[in-house]
Amino acid sequence: MEQRCALATELAQVLDTVRQLEAHMGVKGGADGGETCRALVSSMRSSVDRSIHIAMSSCCVEGRVLGAPESPPSADGSPRSGGSDQAADSPCRGAHAAGQSKKRKTLPKWSTQVRVNSVEDVGPLDDGFSWRKYGQKDILGAMYPRAYFRCTHRHTQGCYASKQVQRAHGDPLLFDVVYHGNHTCAQGKHCNSQRPQPAASGEHWQPQPAGGQEQISVGQKTGGGAPGVAAPFSFPSKQAGADTGSDFPAGCAITASPFMSPATPECKVSCRNVPDVELSSTTESPMGEMDFMLQLADADFLDNSRYL
DNA sequence: CATATTTGACCCTA
DNA sequence: TAGGGTCAAATATG
């Protein structure tokens, strides 16, 4: 197993290298000639991705089984994939807890971590989707409140995707974002290619709490400027005119943040990395970094046809 | 006026 | 029973 882990680590490095290469290509805005290169890179990452999974399939780290997708990702296809929403969604909530009562735990769920440059940043919110905040709670032991969002198109298109955003304990610049379910709305269909959704990353999503985490550094707020994409995050640090700075002030930190989607014009731009852009490896999960990279990798070529 | 956010209360799970 | 998640009325914003 040790060797497998080592292998995975090595592959992760390769993947990282590929990622950097792609990042460079992205920066150079290679729209034409870059295409071929990107295709190659994607192919490479795909291979590495599979290799890592093969290696990690039997590699448990810190008690967490990595790359062991026991639960079928297909669970998302259902409009009911929206995590804890379902109970509340039911007209008669308490009426039939039977059959729903335990779904909270088994719902498709995956988490990510996003680092921003300043407390005013709301990077985690700009993932290209239209989120509507429906609640906020103070979490026991948590320094900051947790905000609850659901897809704006929940009622109009039956999209049950939701997410929870919370600043990491002790680190205001780090956001923990937990997604529940996939977007089944038109927006989600259009943005499939670069979505931080389980399907986009194959087996990276985790049906269990505290799933594979990716730590992503997001540069200046990516701007909820995009019409219909805004997702104001009202943590104490929220800034009034924040949205006006949607022009990528210092450039988005990463070239393919899971939180930025094609739906957000900005994300198509090759954003220059900012100082703290590089992946800050998630200490609690060696695979965290890989997870992130893989997701990015997959995002380019994996087709979430299931959402089409 | 339409839509989004805030926030207290309620419900569910462990 | 405590804590987490959601609802929905009130409020804010464009």
Q: How do residues A125-138 score in pLDDT, each as one tens digit?
A: 567 788 999 999 99
Average pLDDT over chain A, rounded to whole?
51
Q: How far apart are CA A49 and CA A47, in angstroms?
A: 5
pLDDT at A148 over 70: yes
- Position with higher pLDDT, A150 vs A157: A150
Q: What is the pLDDT of residues A8-29, one digit of tens each?
A: 555 555 565 556 665 555 544 4
| CA distances, A243 to each of A88, A96, A188, A220, A271 (Å) | 31, 42, 22, 11, 18
Protein residue nearest nucleotide B12, by CA to C1': A101
pLDDT band, very low/low/confident/very high, at A200 (cuts 50, 70, 90): very low
Domain count, chain A: 1
Residue A28 lies in a domain: no
Q: Hey, is A272 helix, strand or coil?
A: coil
CA of A145: nearest nucleotide by C1' is C4
**Protein-proximal positions, strand C, CB < 7 A:** 2-8
pLDDT for position A146:
92
Nucleic strand B under 7 Å from the C-beta of A134 = yes
pLDDT at A217 over 90: no
pLDDT at A160 over 70: yes
Protein residue nearest nucleotide C6, by CA to C1': A88
Q: Hey, is A53 helix, strand or coil?
A: helix
Residue range of the domain that includes A214: 80-90+103-307
**Strand ranges in chain A using DSSP code E only, listed in sequence order:** 60-61, 64-65, 109-115, 131-138, 145-151, 162-168, 171-180, 215-217
Residue A5 lies in a domain: no
Residue A27 lies in a domain: no
Q: What is the CA radius of gyration of chain A?
A: 18
pLDDT for position A169:
73
Residue A240 lies in a domain: yes
Task: Supply angle C-alpha A167, A302, A165, rounded to 5.
Answer: 10
CA of A88: nearest nucleotide by C1' is C6
Residue A130 lies in a domain: yes
pLDDT for position A209:
38
Percent of chain A with pLDDT over 90: 4
pLDDT at A152 over 80: yes
Nucleic strand B under 7 Å from the C-beta of A87 = yes
Percent of chain A with pLDDT over 70: 22
Q: What residues approach strand C to within 7 A at the CB?
A: A 82-85, 87-89, 93, 104, 134-142, 146, 148, 150, 162, 164, 180
A135 CA vs C11 C1’ separation (Å)? 15
Residue A128 lies in a domain: yes
Q: Hey, is A206 helix, strand or coil?
A: strand
Residue A59 lies in a domain: no
A140 CA vs C1 C1’ separation (Å)? 15
* Residue A126 structure tokens: 């700009």
* Residue A281 structure tokens: 């490896």
Residue A116 lies in a domain: yes
- How many residues are present in chain A? 308
In our burial notation (b when 16+ CB lie closer than 10 A, e otherwise), range A215-245 reads: bbbbbbbbbbbbeebbbebebebeeeebeeb
Q: What is the pLDDT of residues A251-298, one digit of tens each?
A: 333 333 333 333 333 333 333 333 333 333 333 333 333 343 334 333
